[in-house]
């Protein structure tokens, strides 16, 4: 899974909550994801597959944290960003 600091990662979205993503190693897939999380996540839809490495930049997550969570617990759950305060939307 983590050969030379790289992880082949599948990224899934859910229809239940916009901008929530589940990052999994291609090698382990869903086998290390708790059943309770899978039930809340709903039907996963594959968005993309990418090779994660410490030098890779992700739009809304720290790649080191993502990789660490995948190795340690089998997944990384990216939550939606907090809503913008009303003043900043104007």
Looking at the domain assignment, is residue 87 inside a domain? no
pLDDT for residue 5: 87
Q: Tell me, yes or no, whether 63 lies in a domain.
A: yes
- Collapsing DSSP to helix, strand or coil, 28 comes out as coil
Beta bridge partners of 78: 21
Q: pLDDT, tens digit, for every residue of 55-82?
A: 999 988 999 999 999 999 999 999 988 7
With respect to residue 26, please indicate whether it lies within any of the assigned structural domains. yes
- Total number of domains in the chain: 1
Domain range for 72: 6-81
- In angstroms, the CA 55 to CA 63 distance is 8
Q: How far apart are CA 62 and CA 65, in angstroms?
A: 5
Contacts of 30 (CB under 8 A, 6+ apart): 24, 38, 44
CA distance 44 to 13: 6
pTM: 0.85
What does the pLDDT look like over 1-47, one tens digit per residue? Answer: 444 589 999 999 998 888 899 999 999 999 999 999 999 999 999 99
Residue from 54, 61, 50 nearest 25 by CA: 50
Task: Answer yes or no: is 28 within a domain.
Answer: yes
pLDDT at residue 43 in the model: 92
* pLDDT confidence of residue 3: 46
């Amino acid at each position: 899974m983590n050969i030379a600091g790289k992880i082949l990662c599948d990224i899934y979205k859910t229809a239940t909550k916009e901008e929530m993503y589940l990052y999994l190693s291609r090698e382990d897939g869903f086998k290390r994801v708790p059943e309770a999380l899978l039930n809340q996540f709903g039907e996963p839809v594959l968005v993309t597959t990418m090779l994660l490495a410490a030098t890779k930049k992700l739009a809304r997550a720290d790649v080191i944290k993502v990789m660490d969570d995948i190795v340690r617990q089998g997944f990384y759950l990216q939550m939606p960003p907090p809503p913008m305060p009303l003043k900043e939307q104007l």
